[in-house]
Structure 1
């Protein structure tokens, strides 16, 4: 009987040390998993930020087409004027400049920068 009690005490001491060791390993594993999860969350947030706003691409395409459209229209109009009036290359030059100015104006108008005044700071 005494040996059974000694065996029980020895087993319970081993069980307690094994439990403490397992608890310590579990705690370290939880810490590592927590750091990995937070790192993954940070990477996911960074990836979302780098993707950007899809509507920004649409705005950029619209603004560039407004600008290029003005220049192309001016160039075509100048070529037509030169062709029928015989004023080669002056019609093309003048209308290309007017097309450029119209393209810049359309660009500013489309981006809502035309007609806005800076806020006065007091």
Structure 2
């Protein structure tokens, strides 16, 4: 009967070791997932703030043009649309959908 209990204790110890290994592996995977969640959240905050800022700046410029020039709602409409377009372009650049503009290389040959 002692052999049976020794074998049971050995298997129980092996099982405990394997469970400990898997728990540490799962903890490491959870830490990576939490880091990815924070990165995605910060990316979302950055993109949304760029979009809101573009629209607000366009609206502000349109309001100032309307106030100074007395053009009615047309300045607000035009610059709000321009701000929206600029905001969408900035979001696309931030997400990597559109490349950032690079200065052209001049060709000095004549």
Alignment pair present for 1:40 and 2:27: no
Which one of the candidate residues 78, 81, 105 is aligned to 1:97? 81
Aligned length: 99
> 1:23: which partner in 2?
6
1:50-69 Cα deviation digits (max 9, x unpaired): 30334444433332222211
User: Which sections of structure 2, spanning at least 5 residues, go unmatched?
Assistant: 101-110
TM (norm. structure 2) is: 0.70
Query: Whose Rg is larger?
Result: 1
Partner SS, residue 63 of structure 2: helix
TM (norm. structure 1) is: 0.64
> 1:51: which partner in 2?
34
User: Which sections of structure 1, spanning at least 5 residues, go unmatched?
Assistant: 1-16, 117-122
CA distance in 2, matches of 1:59, 1:50: 15
Q: Which moved more, 1:79-88 or 1:68-77?
A: 79-88
For the aligned residue pairs, the C-alpha RMSD in angstroms reads 2.4
> 2:46: which partner in 1?
62
Shift of 1:74: 0.1
CA distance in 1, matches of 2:93, 2:8: 64
